Chain A
Amino acid sequence: MRWKKEYKKEYKKECMEDNNSMENPVLNSKPVPSVETSAGIAETAVPAVLDITESSAVSVPLTPAAEVPVKKKKKKKKKLPPKVIVVENLGVKFRIQEQKVDSLKEYFVRLVKRKLNYKEFWALKEVNLSIRKGDRVGILGLNGAGKSTLLKCIAGVLKPSEGSVTVKGNIVPLLELGAGFDKDYTGAENIFFYGSMLGYSKAFIKERFNEIVEFSELGSFINVPVKNYSSGMKARLGFSIATIVEPEILILDEVLSVGDAKFRKKSSKKLTKMMKKGVTVLFVSHSSEQVLANCNKAIILEHGHIVASGKAEKICAQYEEMIGVKE
């Protein structure tokens, strides 16, 4: 990955100028060195800088290209939607304790030479990414590739060890629906509690309360403590609360498979409606089919690096190839 550093600046410049005309600007711009992935695929690598623009005809089923207000910038020839997420040189370092300390003596010995006990591990390293308004970006990768870590950084939950993340607009994370519920609270009380956690005001929740209950289809169960709910009911309620606002950025972490078939249909309909309105979506998945169905752009993460980025179809094909080789 050494080439990254050398080319990064140039890539950025070129990307900034204009890349609408080319199919994959970054690929065409330089003779790109090949990357040897651990599986040994020699892919033509796309550099870590991903400047995704709202480009033309993408054959995604749910996407009439979103019409979004375009900011005028004097120097640019073409109008581009504003960047809403900019990730620069992001790195996240974890410390892993290698052995478990189970005796007091050992603990004190380790306390004295503490530094030797931890192994540093970069979950993300040198990740550069910028996403424009209205983009629906799929994040593909195997387990432990750093997908969730990336989302956590963007959601502002995890502070990066290096680099920066700039986000404009309000984020609604749809991660593990219903995780924020208090099990002793009833559904109705949890609507207020979970809603307040997402930063909604009391007046707003009161106003939309009926709408939430209606969408969740919980009926009289709304006054039952959440500990007596089935997991599907919890997920339905969580989904209904989280999507009651029209977020500018929506983070989906494998949540499209919640509830029964009927609710799944309803929820994906709602998400599609949101996407049409020009919401920026970050979508994490192992499955390239889902990404293909919902996204117009995609990136592949591997061992904390972005190994490929570009249009969804192309990247999905590459991802399938990658998995195929690995098998």
Chain B
Amino acid sequence: MCKHACGMIRIMKDFIYNLKKFRFLFWELVKKDIKLKYRSSVLGVFWTLLEPLLTMIVLTLVFSNLLGKGDDNFPVYILCGRLLYSFFSNGTKVALKSVRKHGSMIGKVYVPKYMYPLSAVVSNYIMFVISLVVLAGVMIFERVPITVYLLQAFIPMIIILIMTMGVGLILATYDVFFRDLEYLWTVFLMLIMYTCAIFYKVDNLKTAANEMIFKCNPLYSLITMFRDAVFGRSIMSDPYHFWFSLCFSLGVFLIGILVFWRKQDKFILYV
């Protein structure tokens, strides 16, 4: 028992020491992702804003007559879902490849390996936060009233960060051993996208079976909460969304840390 405790303390000590030593590396990795993403493009970082705006316009044009009937704020509705979903999908995709991408370095210099997936998620998160400017612009343009409830939007934003990190850690770990995961995950992301209600309203297709599907999707819960905050409602109007997404995210994050921590010494043999 005592031995076990000593071991844990030593691990924590090493962890903190390494965190201090390599915190500059973490931000360098984040910076590198952002800098290089748009380096060769003409508009550069403006694409962070332009891309969601253009997608929103396309989706609005296609779907507003079909599924969003009679709603003036449909573009804002779409943009909320689209921003959160694209952060989750980009974040997990980049995290998934991160360990393999830095494979050559893993075999040469000692660096805490969790830096790779986590920095990938954080760099995507920063781009996500920047792209919220578009949302603000569209909200003003569409004359969505700005209320105190908007401040609550940071709660789903924090939960989604934890969730993406957790999922990213798990994916990064297993992708090292099982390369097919990359393609499987792309398909799975599509499934998540269609059950997120990004470009349609759930009320329009309410049946008991459908509702179950939405209730199983934590990302849907997060998007709903985010929309509630944007449209001036309390995010706790349906507490289920809050508790479910929070518990799911924390659980996934813990599992992610455990899985990654247990497998990280084997990475070098497979990358």
Pick the interface stretch among A180-188, A254-262, A282-290, A311-319. Answer: A180-188
Q: How many residues of B contact A (CB 8 A)?
A: 20
Q: Do the beta carbons of A193 and B32 come within 8 Å of each other?
A: yes
| B36, B107, B269: the one within 8 Å of A94 (CB) | B269
Q: Do the beta carbons of B109 and A196 come within 8 Å of each other?
A: no
Q: How far apart sit A200 and B268, CA to CA, in the bound complex (Å)?
A: 23
Query: Chain A residues in contact with chain B, CB under 8 A?
Result: 94-95, 152, 155-159, 171, 173, 175-176, 179-180, 182, 184-185, 189, 192-193, 196-202
Asked if A180 meets B32 with Cβ closer than 8 Å, knowing A94-B269, A158-B268, A196-B22, the reply is no
- SS class, residues of chain B in contact with chain A: helix
* Chain A nearest CB, measured from B33 CB (Å): 10
Q: Kindly list chain B residues whose C-beta atoms are within 8 Å of the C-beta of A192.
A: 28
Q: Do the beta carbons of A197 and B105 come within 8 Å of each other?
A: yes
- In residues 240-271 of chain B, which contact A (Cβ within 8 Å)? 265, 268-269
Asked if A179 meets B105 with Cβ closer than 8 Å, knowing A193-B32, A197-B111, the reply is yes
Q: Kindly list chain A residues whose C-beta atoms are within 8 Å of the C-beta of B109.
A: 155, 157, 173, 180, 197-198
* Chain B nearest CB, measured from A70 CB (Å): 27
| A157, A184, A196: the one within 8 Å of B110 (CB) | A157
| B25, B107, B265: the one within 8 Å of A197 (CB) | B25
Asked if A182 meets B265 with Cβ closer than 8 Å, knowing A156-B110, A196-B25, A199-B22, the reply is no
Q: Do the beta carbons of B28 and A180 come within 8 Å of each other?
A: no
Which 10 residue pairs of A and B lie closest in terms of their CB atoms, listed nearest first? A196-B25, A156-B110, A159-B265, A196-B28, A196-B24, A202-B24, A199-B21, A180-B105, A184-B36, A193-B28
Q: How far apart sit A158 and B110, CA to CA, in the bound complex (Å)?
A: 9
Q: 14 A-B pairs, CB-CB below 8 angstroms? A: A95-B269, A152-B107, A157-B106, A173-B109, A179-B108, A180-B105, A180-B108, A184-B39, A185-B36, A189-B32, A196-B28, A197-B28, A199-B22, A199-B25
Q: Kindly list chain A residues whose C-beta atoms are within 8 Å of the C-beta of B28.
A: 192-193, 196-197
Q: How far apart sit A318 and B39, CA to CA, in the bound complex (Å)?
A: 55
Q: Do the beta carbons of B108 and A176 come within 8 Å of each other?
A: yes
Q: How far apart sit A176 and B76, CA to CA, in the bound complex (Å)?
A: 52
Q: Do the beta carbons of B108 and A157 come within 8 Å of each other?
A: yes
Q: How far apart sit A84 and B265, CA to CA, in the bound complex (Å)?
A: 24
Flag B151-172 by CB within 8 Å of A: 1 or 0 each: 0000000000000000000000
Asked if A185 meets B32 with Cβ closer than 8 Å, knowing A159-B265, A197-B109, the reply is yes
Q: Do the beta carbons of B25 and A175 come within 8 Å of each other?
A: no
Q: Kindly list chain A residues whose C-beta atoms are within 8 Å of the C-beta of B25.
A: 196-197, 199
Q: How far apart sit A240 and B57, CA to CA, in the bound complex (Å)?
A: 51
Q: Kindly list chain B residues whose C-beta atoms are within 8 Å of the C-beta of A184.
A: 36, 39
